[in-house]
Amino acid sequence: MPHVRNAVFIAWMAKNDWTALELARALNTVINEVTQRTSTRGELSEVTIRKWRAGETTWPQAKARMALEQVSGRSAADLGFLPPDRRKSRAAPEDPLRRRTFLTAASAAGAAALSGAAPAVGSSDVLRLRQQLDTVNALDDQRGGHDRVEKAALAGAQEAVGLQARAGTQRTRQKLFALAADFTATAAWSCVDAQERARARTHLDRALYLAGLAQDPALTLRVWNSVSMLAHQQGDHSEALAAGQAARATPVTRRDPLYASLAHARTAIAHAHLDEGRQALRALDLAEASLDKAEPDRPRPSWIAFYGAAELHALTAIVRDRIGDAAYAEAASFQALAALPTTFRRNRALATVRLSLAQLHQGDIEQATATTAQVFDEMRGVPLPGRMRALLGDFHRDLITLAPGSALALDWADRYRTEWSRP
């Protein structure tokens, strides 16, 4: 009878970036700490984990289950393992004396932790901080760059760095450094969005350092992506291109085409600002081809949730408008808005401004000024992030340039002056 792969366990490993060898080592560390044994005999191996994944082993031994539950923060059953039917099992029952000895050792280890030193930090702390990070990222998606997002992210980073000193395993320590880097990158991104450039640069430098400690190439790519955006804000498009190329060179782009697509799109924008139209369009083609290869349901960190077909359409609109193809930019903006989820309020509002700019650059002033009304409706009830204010400022400048003193331009300025300048 063929084995049934443990899809739940496989998905958990993928979501938490575990390799079979790394997980086996982490489980052995827990087992050795509990049993106080230094011998390598009987250790779990990479083959053990592969058997779990393949469904050859449907219910690990007690010590392995205990270690797995400590590392994962979930029960073995929650990870897709099935207790054997004792009435049908042909396997010899587990030695009760051996089981009692092991569980007694586990209890003693727990009691020792309670009696003196603070308990080791483990997977439950990592999971809690990860959920906290997801909440902060969701807040950013809703309202954009804001000091509340920055402060919450920095608090999470500080906690993660503080906890890593008490990490029970090296794997947990790296995960905490990764969380600290992720939190710090979120704080940096909030500052980029708010156009608080000095603070953004400080946070990005720190995030890159923490990502290095975590040995996390996906986070390294995230930081370089933000560095590229910050460089554009500062008018240094050569640095923006270099940062995009650094993002493209991270190892994660070879493992996951979604990250490669984002890096190509970022370099496309840099080429467009450097008036390198052919290179910009080539990078867009590579971004689209990479995105077509990406697995949409593959487990990934929450920060990359913004990127997909909708965001690529939005970035395409920027590139096309920059190189003088406003009609294509308008179509790409419509495609972005059709695909962007309503939860991404800030991104929808930005895509709407880009749409109005593309319409304005085609001379359709009446339609362009009407489109901007949707921006304020989309962001009703929350402050306009600095990046959005700057983009609206670009629209106002181009409107005055194309239609100086016109009734439409004056009406637009009068109608939206209060909205545009509100805190």
Each residue's pLDDT tens digit, 129-148 = 888 888 887 777 655 556 77
Outline where 18-85 has alpha helix (H): 20-35, 46-54, 62-72
Sign of CA dihedral 254, 255, 257, 262: negative
pLDDT at 336: 95
237 Cβ contact partners less than 8 Å away, ≥ 6 residues apart = 231, 270, 273, 274
Q: Which residue has the tokens 């309503």?
A: 342
Coil vs helix vs strand at 70: helix
- Mapping DSSP to helix (H, G, I), strand (E, B) and coil, where does residue 167 land? strand
What is the model's pLDDT at position 423? 56
pLDDT at 251 over 70: yes
249 SS3 class = coil
pLDDT band per the 50, 70, 90 thresholds, residue 111: very low
- 140, 182 in Cβ contact below 8 A? no
Give the 3-state secondary structure of residue 213: helix
Does residue 192 surpass a pLDDT of 70? yes
Which of 418, 347, 334, 337 lies closest to 388 in space, CA to CA? 347
| Best CA proximity match to 203, nearest among 227, 179, 219 | 227
Could you give the 3-state DSSP secondary structure of residue 121?
A: strand
What confidence score (pLDDT) does residue 115 get?
41
Overall average pLDDT of the 364-368 stretch: 93
Start-to-end CA distance of the chain, whole Å, equals: 67
371's tokens = 């489109």
| pLDDT at 303 exceeding the cut of 70 | yes
Q: What is the mean pLDDT of the chain?
A: 84
- For residue 171, the one-letter residue type is R
Q: What's the confidence (pLDDT) of residue 185? A: 95
Mean pLDDT of 241-248: 96
pLDDT band for 256, please (50, 70, 90 cuts).
Answer: very high
Residue-level pLDDT at 73: 67
Confidence at residue 146, expressed as pLDDT on a 0 to 100 scale? 63
Closest CA to 304 of 134, 125, 126: 134
How far is residue 157's CA from residue 186's CA, in Å, rounded to a whole number? 10
Q: Is the pLDDT of residue 1 over 50?
A: yes
Could you give the residue ranges of the DSSP H alpha helices within 120-169?
123-143, 147-164
Percent of the chain with pLDDT over 70: 85
Q: Which residue has the tokens 């997980």?
A: 23
The residue-averaged pLDDT of 217-238 equals: 95
Highest mean pLDDT: which of 264-268, 294-298, 347-351? 264-268
Q: Sign of the C-alpha dihedral, residues 137, 339, 389, 261?
A: positive
Tokens (6 digits) for 55: 């469904």
pLDDT at 143: 58
Instruction: Give the per-residue pLDDT at 66.
Output: 77
| Mean pLDDT value of segment 194-198 | 89
pLDDT at 25 over 50: yes
- Among the ranges given (97-111, 249-263, 304-318), the one the predictor scored with the smallest mean pLDDT: 97-111
Alpha-carbon gap, residue 138 to 288, rounded angstroms: 26
pLDDT digits (tens, 9 = 90+) for 58-82: 988 888 887 887 677 677 888 898 8
